[in-house]
Structure 1
Amino acid sequence: MPLEIGKLACLRTLEFFNVGHENGRRIEELGYLKNLKGEVAICKLEHVNGKEEAARACLTEKPNIHKLKLEWSSSRKGYNFNDEQVLEGLEPHPNIKSLKIQRFCGDNLPSWIMNRSISEVIRLDKLIELQLIDCARCLEIPTLGHLPLLKFLELSGLRNVKSIGPWFYYPHNYGVNDQSRRRTNNQLAFPTLERFTLDFMTNLEEWIEMSTNDSNQVVNAFPRLEYLRIYYCSNISRFPSHGFPCLKTLEINNVDRGGVLLDRISNNNSSSLTSLRLENVSDVTCLPKRLLYDNQRIRSMSIWDCPNLTHIELSAHNLKSLEAIYIYYCKKLKSIRYLIQGEEESGSFNSLQTLTVVNCNEVSDILSPMVLEPCTSLRTLQLGDCHNLVSFPVDFRSLPSGLRSLGISECPKLRSLPKGSISCLSSLTELCIGPFSEEVGLASFNEILQGIQQLHSLVNLELYGRSLSLYQITFSILLLSNILKYPILGWKLCLSGLGTWHLWTI
C-alpha cells in the first residue's frame, strides 16, 4: 500500500486498504478519496484509535461504494479493544448493497446496524447481502427482517449470542401506525431473503419466531427462503414454528436437536425441498414421514454420522425425483426400506443415479431386485464397511446396464457375491470387490470375472481377498489393456508391460 494514497484524489477503484500507524497510512487517507466506487475492503482496523478517527474515512459521503468489508486482524492479543467506537464511526452510505464485518470484538454492534428503533429503519434499506463473521463477543444480532432487499444473510462465529428473538424480525412497534399493514392484518418479515446461514454459534439456545400483540394479525416470514444452513450450533433446542414455503436446500450439521427443526419443516409444507443434508444430528432416529411421503421434488439426500438413526423408509411413489442417496457412518442404522406402491403408477426410483452406503456397521437390509430393476438411471452403487451385511440379494442382471461404478467392499460377513456374468454391465468404468467372509471363495471371484474382457470401458479394477492365492484367480483381466489401475489383494507385483499391481493379502 503506497504512502499518502489520499493524494490520488481522483482515484475511483481501491479494492483494499490496510490501515497503518504511521502518517500516510492512517484511515483518514480514505477521507480524501471522494470518488471511490464498487468494492472496498478496509483491513487492520485495530490500528484505528476510536470513533472520531474512524469517521475521518467519510464513508457516509461515498454513495458509489456498493460492497464494503470491515476487518480486524486475527492475530490480535488482549481483551481491551475499542472496536465498538471504531465501528460506530464507520457507518457506510445508505446506498451500500453488500456489507461484511469480520473479527469485530465488541459486545454490541453500532446503532446504524442494530436498527432497534423506528427512526433507524431507513438505514441500510438497499442492503442485499450481510455477513457477520467471527464477531465472537457480540451479545445480540441486529434487527433485519424489515430490510426490503436483503437476499443473503450469514451469521458465523457469533459465539456469545444465546437467542434469536422477535427483535430479529422487526424493530419494536415497527408498523404500528402503518395503515396498509393494519388493513391487511399481515406482517411480512425478510420478504426477499433467499439464503440464511447460521454457523459456529456455539452458545445459541433458541431461535424464536416473530410475535405480535394483535391476535388478528398474521405473521409471515421468509416467504422466499431457498437455502437454510445451520452448522455447529450444538446447544440450540428451540426453533420457529413457521414454515419456509420455498425452501429447496436444508443443511444441518452438528446440531444435537436438529431433528426438531427437521420435524417443524416437515410439518409446515416441505414439498419444495430438493436437497437435504444431515450430519451429526443426534436426536434423529428416523426421517420424518411427511418429509419423505409428501415430497416429489427432493433430488438429493445426504446423511452423515447420525448416531441414533436406526432406519430409513423411502417411498418410490412420492420420491420420483430422487437422484442421489448418500449415507455414511450411521452406526445404528439397521435397514433401508423401499416402499413400492403399485405396478403401474411409475412407483419406482427411476430417477435414482447414485446410491452410496458406507460405514454403517449394523445395516443388514439394503437392496432388493424390486427396487433396483426399475432403476434405469443408476450410475453409481457403492456399499462399503457394512459389517453386518450377510447377502447381496440381487444378481448382475438386476443391475441397470448403464451402471458405471460398482463397489462392494469391506463387508466381512458377506457370504455370497452377485450371481451371473459381469459382462452385462457394459458401461462399467470402476469395479471394487472384497474382502468378504472366508465363505466367499475363489469360485465366486472367478464367476464375477467371467466376461470381464467385454468390459471395454473399465479403467479401475480393485479386488481384495482374504487368504486367497492370486494364481488361482482367472487371468482374463490381464488382457484388458484399457485398465489403468490394478489394485489386487495386497502386495506389489510388477508384471512386464502391465505396470505395478498392488497386492494386499496373499
Structure 2
Amino acid sequence: MDDLNLEEFPKELQNLMNLRHVYFDKDPMKFPVDMGRLSNLRSLSFFIVGKERGRGIEELAGLKHLKGELSIYDLQHVTDGEEAKKAKLAEKTNIRKLRFEWQGNRSSAINIDRDVLEDLKPPSELELLEICKFSGDKFPSWMMSGYLFDALKRLTIDKARYLIEWTEIAAWPTEGTIVLFPRLEELLLRNCDQLTSAPTRFPCLQKLEIESMDSGMPISNISTHLTTLTCLIIKKIRRLTHLPEGMLKRNKNLSYLEIKDCPELTCIVDDVFGCCASLEELRISKCPNLRTLPDGLHTLLSLRKLIIENCKSLECIPVTYGLTSLCEFSVWFCPQLPSLPEGLEYCNSLQMLTIRKCSKISSIPITQGLPFLREIKISWCAQLSSLPSGLEYCTSLQKLTIEYCTSVEFVQTLHGFTSLRQLSLYRISGKILLSALESCTSLEILSISYCPNLETIPSLDSLTHLRKLAIYECDVLKSVPSALASSHCSLTRLIKLEVGGFWKELDSFPAFHVIPQLEELTLYGWPKLNSLPEQVQHFTSLTYLEIYSFDGMEALPEWLRNLTSLECLFISMSKNLMYLPTIEAMQCLTKLQHIHIYHCPLLKERCIKDIGPEWHKISHISTIRGRFLFPFLVPKSTMHA
C-alpha cells in the first residue's frame, strides 16, 4: 500500500475472514477497528490499543494463530489487569518476539501499569521480549518467579523510569535461587533511572548492555555470577566511578568492551586486562575524569581495535608492546595526552591509525616500517611538528590525510609509495615539499588546500590514475600543475577538479588546457579577477560547476550556454556579481536542474522570486536554493571531515 495516501483503513477489511497476513506502516493511518474478527490471521506486526470500541486490547483474544513478531503500543489505554487478561497472550504460543510499549510520562500510573503488565503474561515459548516506558515500580511475578521462559534469548527493558525492583525469588526450601532466564543471551537495560536491583543468574548471557542509569548498582548486581559474556556495553551511567572488580576477570571469553559517557568514571579495574586475553575490541569515550588506562594493555594478544575518544583528562595510555593483532588504533579529543603509547611501532598488524584533536602530542613514535599500515589520518594536533620518521618505510600506505596541524612541516619523500591512492593536506601552515610525488603512480585523489607555504607542485604527468585533483587557496602558488597546462594532458581519468585561490597579485587565472572527460569543476577566484577562465567554455562534459569567491566579477559570461551537459550550477561568495547570462543562454542549458546562490548579495536581490529582474532567467529550473528564499545550504567544496 506504498502508493496510497489512506488516513484510515476501509471498514470492509474486517469482513476478510480468511485473511492470514496483513502488513502496513505504524504512523500514517489510524489503526483499523474490529481486528478480532480476522480469526485466521497469522501475521500482524503491531497492534495499537485504542479507547474506542473495536480498538481495545480484547481484539487480540480471538487471534489465536498469530505467529512471529508482535508489538503492542499505547498500553496506557488499558485501564486494569482484568482488561489486560482479555488479550489472552499466553495462549498465542507461536509468537516468538513480543514488545510492550506505553506512552507519556505517567508517574501517577505506577499501580495501573504494574497490574496491566502482571496480566499480560506472554507465552512461555517467547524468544525476544521488549518492555518500553513501563511506569510500574516492580516487575510482575512472572518475571520474578521462574515462569518458564526456557526459550527467551533476548530481553530489552527501556524507559522504565519508575522501576525500582527486579528481584529473584528463592526456591523453597533449600534449592537456592531460581534461574529466571536459563537461555537468555542478550540483555539490554536502558533509561531505568531508579532501578537498584536485578537478578544475578544468567547462565548463558553473552551480551549485556546497560545504558542511561543514575547509578552502577544494577551492573554490580548482575555481574556477581556472570561468566559467559562476550560483549559488554556500558553507557551513560552517571554515578559509576569504577567497574565492578569481578566483571571483567570472570568473563574469560569477553571479546567486545565499550564504556561511553560515564562522567564520574575514574578508573576501570587495576590490572584487569591480563584476564581478558580474548578481548578483540576496546572502545572508551566521553569519560572526562578518566586519567589512565589500566596496566596490562600489552597482554591483550587478540585485540584488533583500540578506540579512545573524548576523554579530556586522559594522561597516559600504557605501553602497547605485544599487541601483535592490533589493526586499528584511534585517539580523538584527548587534549591532556602528551604522547602516544610506547611500542606502537611494533604493532606489526596495524592497518589504520587516527590521531585527532590531541593538542599536546608533538611526535608520533613510528621509526620503522609497519608493513600492513594502509591509512593514517592526523588532524587538529597543534603541537605536532613533524610526521613519523618511519613513514617512508610504510610501503603499503593507501590513504594519508593531514589536516589542521598548524606546526607540522610536510617535507616528505614519497619515493616508494606505489600503493598510495589518496593524499590530502588541508590547513597546514608549515613548509610543504612533495619530493618524488611522481612515483605515486596509484594515486587517485590528490587534495592540497589552505596551505600558505606551498610554493610549487611537482610534475603530475605520471599520475595516470588520478580521478580527483584539488589544489586551491594556496596563497603563494602562481601556476597550475604542468600536467594541466600541457596541451597533451596525461590525466585521462580525471573527472573532478578544484583549482584556484592562488597568489593574489595575479591579474588572470593561470592557463590550463581542456580536459574533455571532466565532469565536476570548482573554480576559486581572488579579488583581482573580473572574469572566469575562457577555456572553461570548452569543458562540454561538465555536469557540476561551482564558482567561488570571484569578487571582481559582475556578470557570468554568455559562453556558459556551451556547457550543455551542466546539471548543477553553484555560485558563492561573489559579492559584486549581479547578472546571469541572457535568458537565451540559460535556456540552452537544457539539463540544468539545480542552481544554488550563496553569499552573493547583489545577485540575491536580483533573483528574488517573481519580482527580481534575473528571476525570469531561472524560473524554469526545478531546484533553486539560496539564503534569500530557500534553505541554507553550505557549498560542498567548503565541507571537510
Q: 1:106 to 1:256 in 2, by over 3 A?
A: same
Q: 1:322 to 1:396 in 2, by over 3 A?
A: closer
1:72 shift after superposition:
1.5
**Partner of residue 392, structure 1:** 387
Deviates more, 1:60-69 or 1:456-465: 456-465
**Partner of residue 382, structure 1:** 377
1:32 shift after superposition:
1.1
Give 1:409's aligned amino acid: E
**Partner of residue 455, structure 1:** 441
Deviates more, 1:470-479 or 1:231-240: 470-479
Give 1:354's aligned amino acid: M
> Is 1:417 matched up with 2:438?
no
Give 2:425's aligned amino acid: I
**Partner of residue 149, structure 2:** 124
- Given the alignment, which residue of 295, 301, 304 partners 2:306? 301
Q: 1:358 to 1:238 in 2, by over 3 A?
A: closer
Conserved 8 A contact 1:452-1:477: no
Distance 1:365 1:139 in 2: 51
Give 1:198's aligned amino acid: I
SS of aligned partner of 2:341: strand
Q: Structure 1 unaligned segments of length 5 or more: list them.
A: 170-188, 212-218, 341-346
**Partner of residue 500, structure 1:** 521
**Partner of residue 156, structure 1:** 190
SS of aligned partner of 1:260: coil
Distance 2:388 2:244 in 1: 44
SS of aligned partner of 1:369: coil
Conserved 8 A contact 1:460-1:485: no
**Partner of residue 286, structure 2:** 280
Distance 2:525 2:191 in 1: 45
Give 1:253's aligned amino acid: K
1:432 shift after superposition:
1.2
For residues 472-483 of structure 1, the aligned pairs below 5 Å read 472=478, 475-476=481-482, 478=484, 480-483=491-494
Give 1:353's aligned amino acid: Q
Conserved 8 A contact 1:463-1:489: no
> Is 1:364 matched up with 2:323?
no
**Partner of residue 182, structure 1:** none
Q: 1:14 to 1:224 in 2, by over 3 A?
A: same
Q: 1:462 to 1:293 in 2, by over 3 A?
A: same
Distance 1:464 1:367 in 2: 27
The root-mean-square deviation of aligned C-alpha atoms, in Å, is 2.9
Conserved 8 A contact 1:460-1:484: no
Conserved 8 A contact 1:160-1:201: yes
1:277 shift after superposition:
0.4
1:152 shift after superposition:
0.6
Deviation digits for residues 267-301 of structure 1, max 9, x if unmatched? Answer: 6x1111100000012333232221x1211100001
Q: 1:474 to 1:500 in 2, by over 3 A?
A: closer
For residues 252-267 of structure 1, the aligned pairs below 5 Å read 252-263=259-270, 265-266=272-273
1:42 shift after superposition:
1.0
TM-score of the two chains, using structure 2 as the length reference = 0.65
Distance 1:362 1:376 in 2: 28
Q: Structure 2 unaligned segments of length 5 or more: list them.
A: 1-30, 169-177, 454-473, 485-489, 528-641
**Partner of residue 611, structure 2:** none
TM-score of the two chains, using structure 1 as the length reference = 0.81
Give 1:465's aligned amino acid: C
1:142 shift after superposition:
4.8
SS of aligned partner of 1:326: strand
Conserved 8 A contact 1:381-1:405: yes
Aligned length: 448
Conserved 8 A contact 2:207-2:232: yes
1:255 shift after superposition:
1.1
Deviation digits for residues 27-81 of structure 1, max 9, x if unmatched? Answer: 10111112222211111111111100011001122222121111113xx355422
Conserved 8 A contact 1:241-1:264: no
1:485 shift after superposition:
4.9
Give 1:427's aligned amino acid: S
1:107 shift after superposition:
2.0
Deviation digits for residues 390-423 of structure 1, max 9, x if unmatched? Answer: 12242653222x2111012211122x32432x25
Conserved 8 A contact 2:320-2:343: yes
Q: 1:248 to 1:77 in 2, by over 3 A?
A: closer
Which has the bigger relative contact order, CA under 8 A and spacing at least 6?
Answer: 1
Distance 2:83 2:218 in 1: 38
Higher Cα Rg: structure 1 or 2? Answer: 2
- Given the alignment, which residue of 406, 421, 425 partners 1:429? 421
1:470 shift after superposition:
5.1
Distance 1:357 1:254 in 2: 20
**Partner of residue 251, structure 1:** 258
Conserved 8 A contact 1:464-1:489: no
Distance 2:259 2:207 in 1: 14
Q: 1:489 to 1:79 in 2, by over 3 A?
A: farther
For residues 92-103 of structure 1, the aligned pairs below 5 Å read 92-103=122-133
Distance 1:160 1:248 in 2: 30
1:26 shift after superposition:
0.8
Deviation digits for residues 433-467 of structure 1, max 9, x if unmatched? Answer: 243335x1xxx33x34x433753432342333126
Conserved 8 A contact 2:267-2:293: no
Distance 2:132 2:385 in 1: 52
1:234 shift after superposition:
2.0
